[in-house]
Structure 1
Amino acid sequence: MALSDSLLTLSLALAAEAAVGYPNRLYTAIGHPVTWIGRLIKGLDRSLNRESWPFRQRRIAGVLALLVLLTVTGLMAWTLGALLRPLDLMGLLLLAILASSLIAQRSLHEHVAAVSKGLRESGIKGGRAAVSMIVGRNPQSLDEAGVSRAAIESLAENFSDGIVAPAFWLGLGGLPGAALYKAANTADSMIGHRTPRHEAFGWAAARFDDLVNLPASRLSALLIIMAAALHREASPQDAWRAVRRDASHHRSPNAGWPEAAMAGALGLRLAGPRVYGDVRVEDRWMGDGRAEAKADDIDRALALYRTACALLFCLAAGLALLAWFIAH
């Protein structure tokens, strides 16, 4: 697929997903690409991750599992693209619809907005119930400020790996690029953990996910800073300052970039010490504002997020137009 076609596919996919998301009826009927990828990962985990094997052998098995996952996913996506490409405009539209399922603008907004709604309508109990759907930390350990910060942190981090990253690889590599990214990201979320079962087997998935998210995390921070410049109550200068000072101190090589940008833009402190299950994680703070976030701050973050998504679409459409002019 030519770069101009993949960028046009990206523009159409972003617009389609923002408009309708992934319909619940479709999910009920056939599932979702992520659930299909997840089944393959579970199968590979069951068959190749043997607890009786030594650490080095399990790490090699994890590398093999990742290669199998990427090969199967890439071949299926490439085949779909090859079948649809001869259909010209209709094929392009169908490709865009397929690709839109790999982007999560609408669902992320809905899940984070539900936390704000839960806090407003049902207090801390409602906020904890809603935030438990999007974060892995123990919701019972969170007060209202903790719930609000968790929702904003999830919004910032998932803006990068749920929207900007698949969009980046879709624009660069068409449907196969986005599908391969989604496979790698799903593998990281399922097996890329430092647990007795997955510390060795999930090592390759975790490291590869860090690598493929590098460009998107930086672009996400830039989009948030640009969005802050368009909002009167946000500060692009503080967002830029927080990214330069704090992003590299996050335990993730990528999550700190959008989180620091969001924290600085909103005048908040994000990340910091928090509890996952029964384990307390002593992370550095992102931003130097107030830690006492509330539902209003979630709404402010969502407003920045919507603007950043619009800027991403404008960037994709502008690059598609430029690539078309160059090609013709």
Structure 2
Amino acid sequence: MSVATALFVLIAALCTEAAFGYPQSLYRTVGHPVIWIGALIGKLDQTLNRDDLSDSTRKTFGVLALALIITVPVIIAWVIERALEPSWLGKLVIALLASTLIASRSLYEHVRDVARALDDKGLEAARRAVGRIVGRNPQTLDEHGVARAAIESLAENASDGVTAPVFWFAVLGLPGLAAYKAINTADSMIGHRTLRHEQFGWAAARLDDVVNLPASRLTGLLLTMAACVVPNGSPGEALRAMRRDARHHRSPNAGWPESAMAGALGLRLNGPKTYGTARVEDAYMGDGRRNVTAADITHALQLSSVAWALMLAVLLALAFISLI
């Protein structure tokens, strides 16, 4: 597949996902590719990550498990791509398949639901809504905390769920996208610093940090550019917050989009938070307001939507340039 063709396929995938998302009827019938990958991860975790094994053995098994978790979807994706790419109809099918591994619409809808709950249904409904997209304990959050958590999740997942899949498809096609989603899913399931997964999930967590490095910086840049367009956005503050705060985040990647979002909207995000019963100290992103509201969530959704539109425009420009 030529560069131009691959970019047009990617553009079709982005537009398809933004317009339709992943249909619930399809989800109920056959599930979702991430669920299939998750089932493999869960089986390997149950089989290889046993309490009676030494730490070194569990770490080794974690590396081997990760290799299998990546290899299986990559081979499937490579076979599908090779079989389909000769025809234009096949390319459209590749675009449809790629769209299932991008998450701009579902992310937008989940975050929008938090804003609507805060506006119309009260704190408990908002806590339930934000609990669907964050790992922290929502019962510890007041209304401002719920709003901050929603915007932080939007910023981080704009990278993990949108920019990174787009980046890896652009670089390595459908197999690259499949590999990324396998790594990202493995990190979300076993890449935690808990007693059970400290060793077995070590490789998944470290590799996820590596593959998300380019997309997190690109997402921060896109959000900064979007701040030039969105009313009351501040691109200068977004850049300043990224330079000052991103490297202090507990995650080597999440700080870039979160700090850009905070600076662009004049907010102060991140900071200490509670996961379950454990309190985690983390650095603040931005130096603006902490009393974040549902209106700020709406503003953040506008910013991210413009950032995704800018990414689409860049892809279109690159596709046409590659035709010259």
TM-score (norm 2): 0.99
- 1:9-20 aligned at under 5 Å gives the runs 9-20=9-20
Matches of 1:229 and 1:25, distance apart in 2: 39
Q: Which runs of 5+ in 1 are unaligned?
A: none
Matches within 5 A, 1:169-188: 169-188=168-187
Cross-structure match for 1:149 = 148
- Where structure 2 has 5 or more consecutive residues not aligned to the other structure, the ranges are none
Give the letter for the 1:44 counterpart.
Answer: L
Matching of residues 92-171 of structure 1 within 5 Å: 92-171=91-170
Query: What's the CA shift string for 1:34-74, capped at 9, x where partnerless?
Result: 00100111111111112111101100000000111111111
- 8 Å Cα contact 1:9-1:174 kept in structure 2: no
Q: Which amino acid aligns with 1:320?
A: A
Distance in 1 between the 2:152 and 2:2 partners? 36
Q: Deviations over 1:175-200 (max 9, x none)?
A: 11111000000000000001111100
Checking the alignment, whether the CA contact within 8 Å between 1:239 and 1:264 is kept in structure 2 is: yes
Indicate the residue corresponding to 1:69 in structure 2.
Answer: 69
Distance (whole Å) between structure 2 residues aligned to residue 43 and residue 283 of structure 1: 33
CA RMSD of aligned residues (A): 0.8
The aligned residue for residue 220 of structure 2 is 221
2:305 aligned with 1:306? yes
Q: Give SS of 1:275's match.
A: strand
Q: What is the one-letter code of the residue matched to 1:292?
A: N
TM-score, with normalisation over the residues of structure 1? 0.97
2:53 is aligned with 1:53 = yes
Query: Which runs of structure 1 show a deviation greater than 3 angstroms over 4 or more consecutive aligned residues?
Result: none
Distance 2:260 2:139 in 1: 27
Separation (CA, whole Å) in 1 of partners of 2:98 and 2:188: 20
Equivalent residue number for residue 258 of structure 1 = 257
User: Where do residues 238-249 of structure 1 align in structure 2 (5 Å cutoff)?
Assistant: 238-249=237-248
> Once the 2 structures are TM-superposed, how far is the Cα of residue 2 of structure 1 from its aligned partner?
3.0
Alignment of 1:174-213 (within 5 A): 174-213=173-212
Matched letter for residue 129 of structure 2: A
SS at match of 1:234: coil
Identity %: 58
Give the structure 2 partner of residue 268 of structure 1.
267
Q: After TM superposition, give the deviation of residue 5 of structure 1 in Å.
A: 2.5
Query: 2: distance between equivalents of 1:2 and 1:178?
Result: 17
Aligned pairs, number: 324
Q: Which residue of 1 aligns with 2:5?
A: 5
C-alpha separation in 1, matches of 2:104 and 2:119: 23
